[in-house]
Amino acid sequence: MTRAIRNYLVFLRRCLGIAFVGDWRYYLWMGLLTVGCLLGLNAYAKQLAHGLIVTGMSDEVSWGVYIANFTFLVGVAAAAVMMVIPVYIYDNEELHDLVIFGELLAVAAILMCLAFVTVDLGRPDRFWHLIPGIGQLNFPASMLSWDVIVLNGYLLLNLHICGYLLYCRYQGRKPGRWFYIPFVFVAIVWAVSIHTVTAFLYVGLGGRPFWNSSIVGPRFLASAFTAGPAMIILALQIIRRITEYHITDKALLTLRSIVQVSMLINVFLLVNEVFKEFYSGNLHVASSRYLYLGLDGYHALVPWIWTAIVFNLVAMFLLVLPLSRSLRWLNLTCVLCIIGIWIEKGMGLVIPGFIPTPLGQVVEYRPSFNETLVCIGIWAFGLLSYTVFLRMSVPILQGRLARSNEGRGAEVASAAPASSPTRL
Amino acid sequence: MSFPDPQPHPAVPPAADVSRRSFLRTSAVLTAGLAALASSLRPLFEMDDFPSAERFMQKYYKELTPEEMAKVLRRIEGEVEKQYGIRPHVRDLRPMDGVEFVYALNLTRCIGCRKCVHACVQENNQSRDPEIQYIRVLRMPHGSLDIDKAEHNYAPESVPEKGYFYMPVQCQQCRNPPCVKVCPVHATWQETDGITVIDYDWCIGCRYCEAACPYWARHFNFAKPAIPKDRLNPEMAYLGNRPRLQGVMEKCHFCIQRTRAGRYPACLEVCPAGARKFGNILDPNSEVSYILRTKRVFIQLKEELGTSPRFFYYFDV
Amino acid sequence: MDDRPRNGRLNGRIRTAAVLWGLVASFAILAAAFARNPWGRPAPREAIPLVDPAFLSTATNRRSYADLVRAKEDLSDYDCYACHEKGKPPTLRFDEHQNLVIPPEHADIVMGHGEHGRNNNCFNCHNENNLELLQSRDGRVLKFQDSPQLCGSCHGPTYEDWEAGAHGRISGFWNRTLGLIKRQDCVNCHNPHSPTFQGRKPAPGPHPLRPPATPVRAGPVH
């Protein structure tokens, strides 16, 4: 038993060790991200000291970029499942070896979500009030309580699946099916649920007509399954470039078809939404009017949302054209998808729900400098985490970091062959 | 999931021995990094509201025994005295049996003078800067209840103005409160006398209730509340007007420190036109029972949302 | 495969060293910047003036004669028979438009009770035979402190509401078993000679936390 624990601790130590070793590009990337994290941490310390007044939020617009980013990132986390489904249900061979990168992205995304929610709290020192049993978690009435449970559950699920598979690989033994296959299938359903629960956070509020609509849930999933796989397409190419890990173009094209279908559905749902809001002319459209056209002279979000719509439409056209089968165009399309969906799901969903207020007031929102730094810090932290996960998992998957070469030190896994000094 | 066979990479001879320069470099990076980390947390020293261990571990209101509650009340009195120099009297008032509070507001009479807004601020120790006001008076044009047409910032020389009527809005103490439903930690709940209360020492400040409220009745402390010492109201209640902290929600609680002692709320007392009526709907002799029996037209704001407010707007004629 | 020149490894080592020393410098600068703390404090806000305490007063619009009696104040101004003759009803004078002419001794009274000078006769309410009493149209003679009954003799529905507590001001205890109430009379708010409420200056409006840079909306829009 103690030997098993010792082995595991050695494994963890080696993983941690390897995260600090790399070539100059690695140090530069990690250094920049660390600087970002520190800036964010400092900004958050100021927020803790002075209160949320250092953000741009107010009683009129009481959720801002923190929750906007949270909403977007829950979608990214849920989208990891978009790789799992083809592999486990449809036995897709190409993606088989890449699923773990999607799941690691999900872990990093969930960590970012938890961070964004925490920095949004007015009294984070009271987080323990959310722990069932010790605190007073209002389950099942409050959708936020559901979110707490499903997000943490999803994190644990993915940590288990990735950790177990990587550790088995490290030990050079075949993973036991019962230790991961059931969890994978649970994760498929769970992924859909985390994003549905997040959607229901908004949908359940009768006092906010912009959100209180049945299209919000489906739209969330459609946009998540567009942006998530788009990020994975870009991430996989970076992994391929830096580590020479075996990733075929066919895998990328499979992901492309997922993005394609999801974006078509997303745009269709957008058309539905716009028609419903504007055709009947009833009075509840003030929020939509503010978002797309401006209201009473206030129009801060109008350029943003139209940029997002243009990006999404261009991406949609590129996706249906064979042009996007070429990687250069595909990459551009993915970038357009990610930015477009980040805008429309983040700022384009959260802020208009508050404008006008339930009493008819229009007060605009603009994130403060401090708030922006905190966001940058959390994104940097997320990218840092994902990089560390990749830094650990790729050598394990390639067999260069394994039990069999314990004792010869981390330099075995990190130092490159003499002819190629810069590879990980 | 099975992994591909490990791609053949030759085992590499140990890297060049760690030179002193490299060691120096590594420690320099680590030291500089840790210095930056420590320095980044410096603003925390500016925090003047660091929770004491006692406050951090304080139990949920409904779980406090009477002895624990007494201790908590004394602690609050001590904290207020330390900050404002006045020893307040903080009580934990319980709801009375056979009482359900209802508020009726006569739209024929309200002149929009906003005295109720400021009397409430004074009575309930609300922050003056940033400004928190539980009551918001809306100026509506004749003939419309469309809230998008409301004007919040009217400032004429004299009220009432011709062609408008005035509608003060505050927490409606709904029978089916959306804020209570969405609070993730049960920090807000409805008591038996109908008042929706907040345990300020339990609220985590997520502001979900603020998003859920259809009447914009819930307010958040974005900064430490600023109450002028000479305007502090020392008669306080735990669930009512004791000074709140940075980062928690607050809202109208029907002046719980007054109404649970049998008195009228401050907004009613100050209204010069007698537009505000308050009482126990379960008592057939109360003025609110009379009003709900005899007046023909009532408006419950946003009735279609199903919140069933306990706030009734009516017209005399 | 990598076909960089043989001294690629050396280049790599130099670049690594450069990056790492650059990081040391960045962290040091960051540490110093955090210590100096030049950004991120809450922006200074315009001070919000405290409200004038006059807006917090619960006093009524006016004090009635009955209040003055209760407070035992100087009532010499109200001694009708100091000037009028007992037993002789005062004469009312009207101008060519049938408007009442207020004598200079009562110049503080402005008649405005009812539109088109409907209530243009002092003795609709005052008792001409005994100026210290009031009278209603149905013949009742009332004391000044019972003036609500006089008002109610014409304003029936409002009187009913007032009696039930739905009209006018009541202060004190909604729970009558715990304390007394004070119910204001009609004349505590309404001037009987000109009962319509005067307008008054409203208390200051709200000061939002994030005011718009330029106010855009001045009034209702659609």
State the pTM of this model. 0.91
* C106-129: pLDDT as tens digits: 888 888 888 877 788 889 999 988
Distance CA B209, CA B171 (A): 12
Q: A-chain residues within 8 Å CB-CB of B37?
A: 38, 41
Domain spans in chain B, listed from the N-terminal domain onward: 101-314
Containing B137, the helix (H) or strand (E) segment is strand B136-141
For residues A345 and A67, is the Cβ–Cβ distance under 8 A?
no
How many other CB atoms sit within 10 Å of the CB of residue A343?
22
Of A224-238, C108-122, C157-171, C195-209, least confident by mean pLDDT is C108-122
Distance CA A398, CA B5 (A): 8
Q: List the domain range (segments joined by +) for residue C134.
A: 53-189
Provide the sign of the torsion angle of the four alpha carbons C175, C176, C181, C183, taken in this order. Answer: positive
Domain annotation for chain A: domains and CATH numbers:
56-367 (1.20.1630.10)
Across the interface, which of B136, B184, B216 has its CB nearest the CB of A130? Answer: B184
**Radius of gyration for chain B, computed over Cα atoms and rounded to the nearest angstrom:** 27
Distance CA B208, CA B198 (A): 13
Across the interface, which of B40, B150, B306 has its CB nearest the CB of A42? Answer: B40
Q: A-chain residues within 8 Å CB-CB of B184?
A: 130, 137-138, 142, 144-145, 148
A33 → chain C, closest CA residue: C23
Q: Residue C56: what pLDDT?
A: 94
Q: Judge whether residue A409 has pLDDT over 60.
A: no
Distance CA B14, CA A412 (A): 7
What integer best gives the mean pLDDT of chain C? 85
Does the ipTM surpass 0.95? Answer: no
- Cβ of C55 within 8 Å of Cβ of B118? The answer is yes
- Domain B101-314: CATH class, spelled out: alpha beta
For residues C134 and C144, is the Cβ–Cβ distance under 8 A?
yes
Q: Judge whether residue A60 has pLDDT over 90.
A: yes
- Smallest Cα distance from B215 to chain A, Å: 6
Mean pLDDT of A25-50: 94
* C15-53: pLDDT as tens digits: 888 898 999 999 999 999 998 888 877 778 888 999 999
Q: Judge whether residue B266 has pLDDT over 50.
A: yes
Distance CA A255, CA A247 (A): 12
Mutate one of A205, A247, A420 to test the B interface: name it (highest B CB count within 10 A).
A205
Q: How many domains does chain C have?
A: 1
Q: Residue A421: what pLDDT?
A: 32
**Radius of gyration for chain A, computed over Cα atoms and rounded to the nearest angstrom:** 22
Q: Strand B101-106 and strand B136-141: pairing? A: unpaired
Distance CA A355, CA A365 (A): 9
Greatest alpha-carbon span in chain B: 97
Q: Which of A34-43, A399-408, B33-42 has the highest mean pLDDT?
A: A34-43
DSSP 3-state of B169: strand
- Cβ of C216 within 8 Å of Cβ of A298? The answer is yes
Q: A-chain residues within 8 Å CB-CB of C27?
A: 34-35, 38
- How many interface pairs between A and C have CB atoms less than 8 angstroms apart? 82
Mutate one of A144, A359, A373 to test the B interface: name it (highest B CB count within 10 A).
A359
Peptide linkage before B6 cis (omega within 30 of 0): no
A296 → chain C, closest CA residue: C217
DSSP 8-state code for residue B41 = T
Across the interface, which of B148, B204, B208 has its CB nearest the CB of A123? Answer: B204
Task: Please indicate, yes or no, if residue C115 is contained in any of the structural domains.
Answer: yes
Q: Judge whether residue A316 has pLDDT over 50.
A: yes
User: Is the Cβ of A188 closer than 8 Å to some Cβ of chain B?
Assistant: no
List alpha helices for A283-424, DSSP H: 286-292, 302-320, 327-342, 348-350, 369-398, 410-414
Task: Please indicate, yes or no, if residue C36 is contained in any of the structural domains.
Answer: no
What integer best gives the mean pLDDT of chain A? 90
* B110-132: pLDDT as tens digits: 999 999 999 999 999 999 989 99
